[in-house]
Amino acid sequence: MTLPRRMLVLGLGNRLLGDDAVGPMVLDRLKAAVGTDVGLRFVDGGTVGLALLPLIEDAAALIAVDAARMGATPGAVQVYEGAAMDALLQGRKNNAHEVALADLMGAAALRDALPARRALVAVQADQVHMALGLSAAVQAALPALCDAVLAQARRWQEEVRPILEETHHV
C-alpha cells in the first residue's frame, strides 16, 4: 500500500539574518505544538535550493513560510494562495528566497508536478541583517503565522476529505 502524500510546510530563511529566520522559527513552533504525525511534513528549507524540488513535486500541497517586503507594517501577516502566490513570486522579487522559490515553482510546473494547492504565508520583515533573533514586530507575529499555516492546512484537509471518503471509503 502506498502511503498518502503529505502537505509540505516549508520554512524559508537564514537563522543568522534577523527577521529572515522567521520561516524556520515558525517550523520549530509548529513541530513543538502539533508534532509530526498530523499529515504535515515540516522541512527547514533554509535559503532554498534545487535539492528541494523532489519534496515539492511529491507534496500533496505546499505551504511556504517566509519573511517578505510587502509594503506593509512590520509584523503584518499575509497569505498568498495559488495564483496569488504565483503572481507574487513572478513579480517583484524582494529577497533571494522569492527568486529561488519562484525558480522551484517554475521547475515543478515545467515538470507538470506543481502542487495544485500551494500557499505562501508571509510576514512583513522589519530588519534583515546579521543578527540572531527576530525584531519585536516579527516576534509578536509568530502566533499569527502559526495560526495561518494551520488554518490553511485544515481548510485543505477539509476540502479533500469528501473526495477521499468517496473514492477510498475512508
Per-residue pLDDT tens digits for 47-56: 767 889 999 9
- pLDDT for 167 equals 46
CA distances (Å), origin 133, targets 31, 44, 89, 138, 150: 19, 17, 26, 10, 23
Q: If you average pLDDT over residues 138-159, what whole number do you get?
A: 95
Lowest mean pLDDT among 76-80, 117-121, 148-152, 153-157: 153-157
- pLDDT for 162 equals 55
CATH topology of domain 7-168: Rossmann fold (3.40.50)
For the chain, give every domain's residue range: 7-168
Higher pLDDT, 45 or 4: 45
CB-count exposure of residue 61 (10 Å: 0-12, 13-18, 19+): buried
